[in-house]
Amino acid sequence: METKEQILGYLEEVYDPEVPVLSVVDLGIVRNVEVDAEGTLITITPTYTGCPAMNVIEDDIRAKLKEKGISNFSIKTILSPAWTTDWISEAGKQKLKDYGIAPPEKSSPDISLLSNKSKVIKCPRCGSLNTEMKSFFGSTACKALYICNDCKEPFDYFKCI
Amino acid sequence: MSDNKAVNTALFDYLLWLGDNSLVLGHRLSEWCGHGPVLEEDIALTNIALDLIGQSRLFLTYAGEVEGKGRSEDDLAYLRDVMAFKNTLLAEQLNGDFAVTMMRQFLFTVFNYHLQNALLTSTDERIRSIAEKAIKETTYHLRHCTDWVIRLGDGTEESHKRMLEAIDELWMFTDDLFDAVESDKLLIAAKIVPDMKGIQDKWNSTLKEVLGEATIKIPERSYMMKGGRKGIHTEHLGFLLAELQFMQRAYPGAKW
């Protein structure tokens, strides 16, 4: 029988379909893995309520475990505690940056509710801090759209929730 | 009816209201897909639509479980008729121009934000966990429409005029946001849901702050149309559902 560490190792090979450099473990979607005589229970949580990738991720986890010869497992989805970008691992943040997506900066939300201030985000390409938020909503639910005023390139920012 | 059963029935009704609000407004926003005034807004409105539909799924799934008749989120979304929908009248109003969409979005989102914040302390664990998840998204929605209301209200002569027309057109549907039904009292007593009065006070104060900055005058109180919660809707909801439910009505049980 596989150990918890082995199962986690397999899950490291399951990638987010929309950000294919991050595994579901890097992203913090996998909340727990329990292995006992009855089988394996994997607990996952969605990033956003409407995230269309969640069904695919669940299918991908099933496919990966079957490929590894594991059949006695189940997947449980929980909502609470709610997923936060703080759960993205340090390795995950580095992978995001290398991929050209600015990683989430700090745990606080990026917005003060009714005022007009947004955080200063570093351009993942040239490192400039002279960047500008174009839209809170980007190519997927989890990203915001920025532009760098120095290298003139637009880039995605993985926004804090 | 036993107390427990009465609370369950009340909860089912309330969850349908929460789920239908998000579903109907989410559908309306999805109609902007490919028609946004600029690319960023096309993407923003459809992103928000996706969040709302996601939130709706959580509430309708729970509603089906509370009802206990084996109805799924899909059964509840696709197979109920107009009068079984509980959503607030504001959500079903037509998109109009971008000013109307943004004003509708603002009036609703301020309400939704304060309501979800109050639901964070619900005695019902499931509602609490949904609210905990949803409020993070709704905070972004609020910031987005607040930005636009200020930018357009305190903008050009044309944008200011359109925002005034938009609030005049929508104002009569705003009391309906807070229109509770008799059975809500059971849920309030059990601290499952908040009293609407507190939500309305917070809504009023946020409106005053933002609309003041946007130089938009809040309309005088006049005739207020209500009834969404009891299934009495404006003419627009039927047409919306005809599109939303088309596939399941034309091909019952279709799956992909």
| Residue at a domain's end among A68, A83, A98 | A83
Measure the CA–CA gap between B51 and B69, rounded to whole angstroms.
Answer: 27
Q: Are residues A67 and A8 in the same domain?
A: yes
pLDDT value of residue A115 = 54
Please tell me the predicted confidence (pLDDT) of residue A141: 79
Exposed e or buried b for every residue in A28-45, given b needs 16+ CB within 10 A?
Answer: bbbeebebeeeebebebb
Of A29, A49, A112, which to mutate for an interface test with B (greatest number of B Cβ within 10 Å)?
A49
Which ranges in B154-222 belong to alpha helices (H)?
A: 157-170, 184-189, 196-213
Closest to B192 in 3D by CA, of B26, B88, B66, B55: B66
Q: Of A76-90, A103-117, B149-163, where does mean pLDDT reach its minimum?
A: A103-117
Find the chain A residues whose C-beta atoms sit closer than 8 A to any C-beta of B: 46, 48-52, 78-84, 109, 111, 113-114, 116, 134-139, 141, 145, 159, 161
How far is it, in rounded angstroms, from Cα B132 to Cα B120? 6
* Through-space distance between the first and last CA atoms of chain A, rounded to whole angstroms: 37
* Region A79-93 average pLDDT: 91
- The single-letter DSSP state of residue B190 is T
pTM (predicted TM-score) = 0.92
pLDDT-above-70 percentage for chain A: 92
The Cα A48–Cα A25 span in angstroms is 16
Please name the helix (run of DSSP H) or strand (run of DSSP E) that holds residue A132, with its range, or none: strand A131-135
A1-42 residue pLDDT tens: 788 999 999 999 999 988 889 999 999 999 999 998 889 999
Look at A84-88, A104-108, B116-120 and tell me which has the smallest mean pLDDT.
A104-108
- Residue appearing with tokens 């091909």: B251
Give the C-alpha separation, A77 to B115, whole Å: 25
Residue A50's pLDDT band (cuts 50, 70, 90): confident
Shared-domain flag, residues A114 and A150: yes
The residue extents of the domains of chain B are 3-250
> Do A78 and A92 sit in the same domain of this protein?
no
Same domain, A13 and A71: yes
Chain A residue numbers touching B140 (CB-CB < 8 A): 111, 136-137, 159, 161
* Order of all β-strands in the sheet with A143-148: A101-102, A154-158, A143-148, A131-135
Partners of B143 on chain A (C-beta within 8 Å) are: 111, 113-114, 136
Same domain, A40 and A59: yes
Query: Residue A44: in which H helix or E strand, if any?
Result: strand A39-44
B234's tokens: 């404006």
Are the beta carbons of B48 and A137 separated by less than 8 Å? yes
Hey, of B52, B61, B128, B140, which one would you mutate to test binding to chain A, going by the most A CBs within 10 A of its CB? Answer: B140
- The interaxial angle of helices B98-119 and B157-170, nearest 10 deg, is 60
Interchain pair A111, B139: CB under 8 A? yes
Cis status, amide bond into A52, omega within 30 of 0:
no
| Residues forming a β-bridge with A102 | A157
Q: How many residues in total does chain A contain?
A: 161
Closest C-alpha to A6, from A78, A93, A64: A64
pLDDT in tens, chain B (256 residues): 577 899 999 999 999 999 999 999 999 999 999 999 999 999 999 999 999 999 999 999 999 999 999 999 999 999 999 999 999 999 999 999 999 999 999 999 999 999 999 999 999 999 999 999 999 999 999 999 999 999 999 999 999 999 999 999 999 999 999 999 999 999 999 999 999 999 999 999 999 999 999 999 999 878 999 999 999 999 999 999 999 999 999 999 998 7
- How big is the CA angle at B179 (ends B173 and B32), to the nearest 5 degrees? 40
How far apart are the CA of B42 and the nearest CA of chain A, in angstroms?
Answer: 10
| Residue A47 shares a structural domain with residue A100 | no
Q: B150 vs chain A: nearest CA distance in angstroms?
A: 10
Q: Contact, B177 vs B203, CB < 8 A?
A: yes
Distance CA A106, CA A149 (A): 22
Q: Which member of A134, A139, A141 has the closest CB to residue B50? A: A141
Q: How many CB atoms are closer than 10 A to CB B121?
A: 11
| Structural contact between residues A74 and A42, judged by C-beta atoms closer than 8 angstroms | yes
Which H or E run contains B176?
Answer: none
Q: Per the structure, how many domains does chain A have?
A: 2
Asked if A104 and A78 sit in the same domain, the reply is no
- Which one of B53, B129, B206 has the shortest CB-CB distance to A50? B53
The whole-angstrom distance between A6's CA and the closest CA on chain B is: 30
| Torsion (CA) B233, B138, A24, B30 in degrees, nearest 10 | 40
Whether residues A9 and A66 share a domain: the answer is yes
Q: What is the pLDDT of residue A133?
A: 86
Asked if B221 and B160 count as a contact pair (C-beta separation under 8 A), the reply is no
Contacts of A141 in chain B (CB under 8 A): 47, 50-51
User: Tokens 């475990």 identify what position?
Assistant: A65
Query: Coil, strand, or helix at residue A147?
Result: strand
Q: Domain range for residue A30?
A: 4-83
The pLDDT value given to residue A6: 93
- End of a domain among A57, A83, A109? A83
**A104 and A62 in a common domain:** no
Same domain, A75 and A9: yes
| A61 shares a domain with A112 | no
The topology under which CATH files domain B3-250 is Ferritin (1.20.1260)
Q: How far is B250 from chain A (nearest CA, A)?
A: 25
* Helix boundaries (H) for chain A: 4-11, 53-67, 90-99
Q: Are residues A78 and A94 in the same domain?
A: no
B249 sits in the region (left: phi over 0; alpha: psi -120 to 50; else beta) called alpha
What's the mean pLDDT in A56-81? 93
Last residue of a domain, one of A22, A56, A83: A83
Residue A51, pLDDT above cutoff 90 = no
Return the CATH number at A22. 3.30.300.130
Q: What is the pLDDT of residue A111?
A: 55
CB contact under 8 A, B137 and A48: yes
